[in-house]
Structure formats: structure tokens, C-alpha cells
Chains A and B, each alone.
Chain A
Amino acid sequence: MIFNRDKSGDQSQPAQAKPAQPQAAQPQPGALKPEQAAKPAEPPRPAVTAPPTSTKVGANMASVISKALKITGELESTEDIQIDGQIEGDVRGVGVKIGQNAKVKGTVYGDDVELAGTVEGKIEAKKVLISGTARMTGDIWHQDIKVESGAYINGSLKPELGKSDAKQAPKPAAASTSSNVSSLTGTTGAPHH
């Protein structure tokens, strides 16, 4: 009852709370806790330190799975994501960057996947970049791939992604015309077998 009645005051407060940065989890820290208000460093913090944090971490990436985070389960994202931690399960993203120390066990789906770390499973993406530090165990389904020297790939490269979908115009008759993509795959894929 008390909470419901206080909702009238609710109308004005969220307006203040919403524009705050996501990092500024306590929009009004001074009002929150007496003990926090006692600390002189606290009150100015959210406004001042939140923006530097967001610029410092992962540049403009909206989401960061840091080194210390381990996820067991499914992850879906409609925005770019940087993975530096561990994931056991499938990842469905748009732009997915898998950092050098990251480890993913499962399938990585995306439009644009950059792998510098370890994947055990599968990658299904339109555009794939495997950098020199990458360690890939499993197949890579792609339309466009680049593999840098030093990468470890134990699996097949399949330039067939989206063929059945027929959504991508550049590959209507990939079988007859050896496009840049498929010839590139042939050269990069061969040394690893």
C-alpha cells in the first residue's frame, strides 16, 4: 500500500533517473544511503566517472563480456558485442568480436565475426575474420572470410552460408563462376588440411 501510494511521487523521479548513463546506476546516490552520502567522494561520481568508463572500455562497443565473466547458456544480441570472457553456449549477434583471451564453446552466429581467441564449435557468419592468434576447432560457414597467418583452424571452411536463403545477390551461381570469395577460401583453407 505504501509503495503504491508513493507512486505519485514516482512520476517525477524516473524522469530524472532515466537520462542518467547506464553506468550511473544510482541516479541520486546522495539521497540513497546515509552511509554513502558520508563518503565525500561519492556524490559527484556518477556524472563524472561514468562517461570515462564507457570510453575506456571497449571503445564504442555497446556490450562487453569481460575477461572475468563466464556465461553458461544462450546469448543473443541485436547490437555489437565484444567477448573477452568465457561462454559455454551459442552466441547470436550481429557484429561479434571474440578477443584473444576469450573462449566460446558453441556456435557463433553473426553478420560480422572477428575471432582472435578460441572457439570450439562452429561459426556461421556472412563475414569472418580469423586473426593470427585465433584457435578455431570446428567448421566455419561463411560468405566472405579472411584468415591471417598463425591462426589455428581445425575444421572445414564452407563458403555456403546463405546459399539456400538466396538472400545475398553476389552469389547466385557460385558453382559455375568461381568468385573472389570462393577462390580465396580455397587458398586459405588448403594449408590447414
Chain B
Amino acid sequence: MQPEAEAPPSRLGPGVGIQGVLEIDGELVISGLVKGRIAASKLVIAPGGYVEGDIVAREVVISGRLNGRVFAPTVSIAASAEVEGRIFHTSVSVERGARVNGRMPWRPVSYFDTLDQLPENRE
């Protein structure tokens, strides 16, 4: 998997704050702050990054902080992560040391293929 060969990944540095909707057909690395909705092929919340809102992606890697929901077949939560919310996944890994507060509902892969609209909040 070499996404940077075609489209270089987008990077939001520590000094960047965004409020709104982010859509990317590729990889997005967040070291800053995002409040809103994110749709990406791959999303990385780097250490120091903070996301508040819903994330829809094929793959999500969390090393920073997240407050919201994740909808992704593959989710990796690193030791430095702090997660609050729900993680809808097919395959999830949580590294020892991560702080996870919330449910992690399992869904088949097909669930994410047909995920056009996010389920309404029923937290």
C-alpha cells in the first residue's frame, strides 16, 4: 500500500485547528485539532492530535485523543491513545496502556460497504 505514490497524504500539524467536514480520498494524518466529521480512506490521529466527532474510514490508527465515533473495518489503538466513544469495527487492536472508554461494537465488513449515512446518535 503506497498511497503517497499517487496522492501524498494530507498532514495537519500541531498548530492546525479545523472545525467542519473533512473528506479525503486518501490518507489523512492529524497532529492538530479537528472538530467535525471526517471521511477518509485511512485516518491517523498522531500523538498530540485530537479529534472530536465521527470518523468513517477503511482504516483508522489512533495514537492521540478521540472523542466520538469510529466506523472502520480496521482500527488500531496505540498505547498513547485516549478514546472516548464508540468504535464500530470488524477488526480492532488495542495496545496495552491505551485508555479506552466506550463500547466497541463488531460489524461485518459488509456493514461498512453499505455505510452511506451514519446511524443517528443512539449512544
When the two chains form their complex, are residues B16 and A76 in contact, meaning their CB atoms are under 8 A apart?
yes
Instruction: Check if B115 is an interface residue, CB within 8 A of chain A.
Output: no
Q: How large is the interface on A (under 10, 10 to 19, 20 to 34, 35 or more residues)?
A: 35 or more
Q: For residue B29, which residues in chain A have a CB less than 8 angstroms away from its CB? A: 22-23, 25
| Interface locus among A57-65, A125-133, A155-163 | A57-65
Name B's A-contacting residues (CB within 8 A): 4, 7-26, 28-29, 31-32, 36, 44-49, 61, 63, 76, 78-80, 91, 93, 95-101
When the two chains form their complex, are residues A32 and B93 in contact, meaning their CB atoms are under 8 A apart?
yes
Q: For residue A58, which residues in chain B have a CB less than 8 angstroms away from its CB? A: 8, 11
- Interface 1/0 per residue, A16-29 and B, CB below 8 Å: 11101011011110
| Interface locus among A4-12, A141-149, A179-187 | A4-12
Q: Which of B4, B49, B97: most chain A CB closer than 10 A?
A: B97
Instruction: Check if A69 is an interface residue, CB within 8 A of chain B.
Output: yes
Residue in B26, B78, B95 whose CB lies within 8 Å of A69: B26
Instruction: Check if A188 is an interface residue, CB within 8 A of chain B.
Output: no
Residue in B15, B31, B78, B100 whose CB lies within 8 Å of A27: B78
- Interface 1/0 per residue, A54-95 and B, CB below 8 Å: 001110001111111111111111110100010001000000
Question: Knowing A26-B61, A68-B24 touch, does A17 contact B80 (C-beta < 8 A)?
Answer: yes
12 A-B pairs (CB sep. < 8 Å): A6-B97, A17-B63, A20-B47, A22-B31, A28-B95, A57-B4, A57-B11, A65-B10, A66-B8, A69-B22, A77-B15, A79-B14
Name A's B-contacting residues (CB within 8 A): 3, 6-7, 9-10, 13-14, 16-18, 20, 22-23, 25-28, 31-33, 35, 53, 56-58, 62-79, 81, 85, 89
Question: Knowing A22-B46, A69-B23 touch, does A77 contact B16 (C-beta < 8 A)?
Answer: yes
When the two chains form their complex, are residues B101 and A18 in contact, meaning their CB atoms are under 8 A apart?
no
Residue in B9, B17, B93, B101 whose CB lies within 8 Å of A76: B17
Q: Tell me, rounded to whole Å, the shortest Cβ–Cβ distance linking A28 to chain B.
A: 7
Q: For residue A85, which residues in chain B have a CB less than 8 angstroms away from its CB? A: 10, 24
